[in-house]
Structure 1
Amino acid sequence: MFQTLYSYFWWERLWLPANLTWADLEDRDGRVYAKASDLYITLPLAFLFLVVRHLFETYVATPLAGLLNVKEKVRLKATPNAVLEKFYAATSKHPKQADVEMLSKKSGCTVRQVERWFRRRRNQDRPSLLKKFREASWRFTFYLIAFIAGMAVIVDKPWFYDLREVWKGYPIQVSMDPIPAFPDHQDLQWQLEVQWGSLGGGWDAGSARDRMAFPGRIMHCTMFYPLELYPAFFGYYFFNFMMVVLQSLHIFWAYLIIRMAQKFITGKVVEDERSDREETDNSEEEEEVAKNGPLSNGHPVLNNNHRKTD
C-alpha cells in the first residue's frame, strides 16, 4: 500500500510537463540535478538558525532594546492555586460563568477573585514587550540579509530582467556562469540562484515594493509564461494555487497595517491588530485599594493605621 501511494505521489504527470520523465533529470554528462534527498540539509540548517537566533536575541536585540528604552510592563502574577491552575491547563483559559461559580466554591475564592486570577494567568502567558521586540528585530535582520543576498545572487542574471528566461529549458536548465568550485554542476548552480532569488527577491513579505511586484510580475510569470511552452499540468495548478494563497495573506496583512496607520493618523491608541490584547483589572484593583488599602500581588497590605481587635 505504501509503495502504491509512493508511486502515485511521484507520478510524472503530476509534477512534470508533458513528454518529460524523471529519467530526464538523472545525473549524467557532468550534470547534477536536484533530488528529494537534498531536503535533508534543511534539518541541520534549521538547528543552526535556532542557535543563531538565540545568540542574536541575547547579545544584539536585548542590549538594543535597552538603548531604545524598551521597558517591560510590570504584570501582577496570579497567586498559586492548584484548583484554578488545573482547570486553566486542562479545561479552558476562558471559563464560563457557571465554571467560575463552580471554581469559586472548590477553591474557596470569591467569584471576582477567580475572574481576576484567570485574567492575570492569561496575561502571564502572553509575550512580553521585550520578547516581541526581540522577535521583530530578528525577523527584520533575517529578511534584510536574505533580500540583499538574493539580489546579489541574481542581479547579473538574464532572468532578473526578463522573467521569460526562467522557463527556457525548464526543468533542465543549464547555468550560463557555473560556480568555479563546481565546474560540472551547472544545473545545481542555476537552482541555487533561483532559490536564493525567490527567497530574497520574491518572497520577502516585509517589503511593500515586493507586495506590489508579487501579483504584477511574479504571479504573471508563473501563470502565463509556462503556458507558452507546454500545456498546464497538476504541478502548474498546485503551485499557482499556493501563490494565490500567499497573495491573499499579503492583502490581509496590508489591511491590518492600513488599519493601524489609520488609527495612528486619527490619534487613536495604536495597537498591533495581529497581537493579543493584554487584559487589565485596574478598576477592580482600585476598588480593593479603596476598601482594604494597598495591594501586594493581589493581597491587601496591612498598615500602621489598622485597629487591633480582640
Structure 2
Amino acid sequence: MDQISQWLWKQEYWLPPGVSWKDMEKMENSVRPLPRDLLFSLSLAVGFITLRYAFERVVALPLSRVLGVKDQNRFKVTAAPNLETFYMKHSRQPTQNDIASLVKQSGWTHRQVEVWFRNRRNLDRPSSSKKFCEACWRFAFYLVAFMAGLASLINTSWLRDQRECWRGYPQQPVQDVHYWYYMLELGFYWSLLLCVSIDVKRKDFKEQIVHHFATIFLLGFSYCSNYIRIGTLVMLVHDSSDFLLESAKMFNYAGWKKACDSLFVIFAAVFLVSRLVVFPSKIIYTTLVLSMEVFQPFVGYYFFNALLLVLQALHIYWAYLILRMIYKFLFLGKLDKDERSDVESELEDEEEEEEKEEHRSSWRKRKIVMDSRLAMLNSSCVLNNLTNQKADVNRGLPKAR
C-alpha cells in the first residue's frame, strides 16, 4: 500500500521540474491545498443530495404548480406477469412477432397487448413536474455559483491577465473564498454523478457521464497541483451559460414557449461565445502556451490539458446540437426540442416512434377507406354504364322490328 501511495504521489507527476513537496510544505497549511481536503467534497455531495431533496419538494414543486406545469394522465396497467417479464428483460417495444407470441402466452387479443405495452411505457416516462424540479435545482445552484464565483474573482489580477495564473506557481497561497468555491463545485458534481441513475435519462447521457468524470478529475487534480487560479476561471466560464439553459427548460416544461425561446437564444449566444471563443482562446491557450513561460512540461501539465481538451470536444458536440436548434428556429420559426440534453430521453424517443407509427397506421386506414370508396364508385359507374347500354338496346328493338 505504501508503494502505491509513493508511486501515486511522486512529485514528478504533480509538480513542475525543480519543485518538490518539501518546497510546498514551506507554505502554511492554512494557505496551501492539501489532497485530504478532497474528502470533504464527498461530505458536501451527501449534503447537496439532502438539500436537493428538500428543495425540490418545498420550492421547486410548488413553483411548478404556480407556473402551470401539467402532467399527463397515466393509466394503470393490469397485472400481467408474462408481459411484465418481457418488458423488463427484453424490450419496451415488442415486434409484431413478439406480440404474436405474447398473445398466445397471455390469452389476450393483439390489441390488448399493444395497449398494455403503451400504458406501461407511459408509467416509466418522467413527468413534467419531475423534469421541472430537476431543472429548477440545477438552475438555483448554477446561478448562485456563477454570482458567487464572479464576486470572488472580480478583484483578482488573473481574471484580467491570465499570465498572473502562473506568477509564483506552484507556491501560490489559496484564499478561503476560492477554497470554498472549489469544494462546493466539486461536491455538486459528485452529487450529480451519484444521482445519475435516478435522474431523467437524457439523450446525451453518455456525454454527460464523460463530462461529470472529466470535471471531477479536472477539479481534483487541479486542486492538488495548485492549478486553482486557472481552475476558478474554468468554473466561471462553465457556470456563465448553464443557468440560462436550465431556466429555458423550466419555462419549456411550464408551456411558456415565448419565454423559453427567448432564453434559449440568449443561452445559445452565451454558450457559443464562452465555450467556443473564450474557453479555447483564454483558458486552453493559457495552460498550453503561457504556462511554459514559467515552467517546463511535466506529467500534470499533459494530464490537465488533456482533460481541458476533452471538455472542449464536448463543447463542440453540444454547439453542433445548439446550431441545429438555431437553424430550426430561424427557418422553421419554432423550437420544438432541446437538442442539447433534456427533452429527448430514451423513453421520449420511443414515444415519438409510437406517434409516427400511429400516424402511419391511421394513414393506412384512411387509404383503405379511400380505396374502398373508389372501388364502390368504379363499380357504380360500371353498373350505370351497363344499365344505360341495356336501355339503349331496348329502345332500339322496336325500330328494328
Normalised to the residue count of structure 1, the TM-score between the two structures is 0.76
Is 1:62 the counterpart of 2:126? The answer is no
Please name the residue that 1:224 is paired with: 289
Encode CA deviations 1:49-80: one digit per residue, 9 max, x unaligned.
11222222222222222222221122334332
Please name the residue that 1:203 is paired with: 238
Deviation at 1:128, TM superposition (A): 1.4
Using the alignment, how far apart are the partners of 1:76 and 1:229 within structure 2?
Answer: 66
Please name the residue that 2:36 is paired with: 37
Deviation at 1:97, TM superposition (A): 4.5
- Indicate how the Cα distance of structure 1 residues 264 and 32 shifts in structure 2: closer, same or farther if over 3 A, else same: closer
Please name the residue that 1:151 is paired with: 150
Deviation at 1:256, TM superposition (A): 1.9
- Indicate how the Cα distance of structure 1 residues 193 and 268 shifts in structure 2: closer, same or farther if over 3 A, else same: closer
Please name the residue that 2:310 is paired with: 245
Please name the residue that 2:206 is paired with: none
- Indicate how the Cα distance of structure 1 residues 127 and 261 shifts in structure 2: closer, same or farther if over 3 A, else same: farther
Structure with larger Rg: 2
Assess if the C-alpha contact under 8 Å between 2:77 and 2:119 holds in 1: yes
Please name the residue that 1:255 is paired with: 320
Using the alignment, how far apart are the partners of 1:229 and 1:133 within structure 2?
Answer: 47
Looking at secondary structure, tell me which structure has more helix per residue.
2
- Indicate how the Cα distance of structure 1 residues 261 and 77 shifts in structure 2: closer, same or farther if over 3 A, else same: farther
Deviation at 1:196, TM superposition (A): 8.0
Q: Residue 337 of structure 2 is aligned with which of 230, 255, 271?
A: 271
- Indicate how the Cα distance of structure 1 residues 198 and 269 shifts in structure 2: closer, same or farther if over 3 A, else same: closer
- Indicate how the Cα distance of structure 1 residues 93 and 36 shifts in structure 2: closer, same or farther if over 3 A, else same: farther
Please tell me the residue identity of whatever aligns with 1:201: L
Identity within the alignment, %: 42
Residues 109-120 of structure 1 aligned to structure 2 (within 5 Å):
109-120=108-119
Deviation at 1:178, TM superposition (A): 7.8
Assess if the C-alpha contact under 8 Å between 2:16 and 2:295 holds in 1: yes
Please name the residue that 1:22 is paired with: 21
Stretches of structure 2 lacking an aligned partner (at least 5 in a row): 178-222, 243-269, 363-401
Encode CA deviations 1:165-220: one digit per residue, 9 max, x unaligned.
11112111136x888xxxxxxxx9xx797488346513325252432311121111
Assess if the C-alpha contact under 8 Å between 1:151 and 1:200 holds in 2: no
- Indicate how the Cα distance of structure 1 residues 199 and 217 shifts in structure 2: closer, same or farther if over 3 A, else same: closer
Residues 76-115 of structure 1 aligned to structure 2 (within 5 Å):
76-115=75-114
Deviation at 1:44, TM superposition (A): 1.9
Deviation at 1:90, TM superposition (A): 3.0
Using the alignment, how far apart are the partners of 1:27 and 1:111 within structure 2?
Answer: 77
Assess if the C-alpha contact under 8 Å between 2:234 and 2:283 holds in 1: no
Using the alignment, how far apart are the partners of 2:42 and 2:335 within structure 1?
Answer: 42
Please tell me the residue identity of whatever aligns with 1:100: I
Assess if the C-alpha contact under 8 Å between 2:71 and 2:129 holds in 1: yes
Please tell me the residue identity of whatever aligns with 1:130: S
Comparing 228-237 with 68-77, which one deviates more in the overlay? 68-77
Normalised to the residue count of structure 2, the TM-score between the two structures is 0.60
Stretches of structure 1 lacking an aligned partner (at least 5 in a row): 180-187, 288-310
Comparing 137-146 with 51-60, which one deviates more in the overlay? 51-60
Please name the residue that 1:305 is paired with: none
Using the alignment, how far apart are the partners of 2:156 and 2:26 within structure 1?
Answer: 24
* Secondary structure in structure 2 of the residue aligned to 1:203: helix
Q: Which runs of 4+ in 1 moved over 4 A?
A: 27-32, 280-284
Using the alignment, how far apart are the partners of 1:108 and 1:20 within structure 2?
Answer: 76
Deviation at 1:29, TM superposition (A): 5.4
Assess if the C-alpha contact under 8 Å between 1:154 and 1:193 holds in 2: no
Size of the alignment, in residue pairs?
A: 275
Using the alignment, how far apart are the partners of 1:99 and 1:121 within structure 2?
Answer: 16
Using the alignment, how far apart are the partners of 1:7 and 1:30 within structure 2?
Answer: 21
Q: Residue 279 of structure 2 is aligned with which of 214, 221, 229?
A: 214
Please tell me the residue identity of whatever aligns with 2:163: R
Quote the RMSD (CA, aligned, Å): 3.1
Encode CA deviations 1:139-178: one digit per residue, 9 max, x unaligned.
1221111011001111111111111111112111136x88
Using the alignment, how far apart are the partners of 1:178 and 1:66 within structure 2?
Answer: 40
- Indicate how the Cα distance of structure 1 residues 65 and 178 shifts in structure 2: closer, same or farther if over 3 A, else same: closer
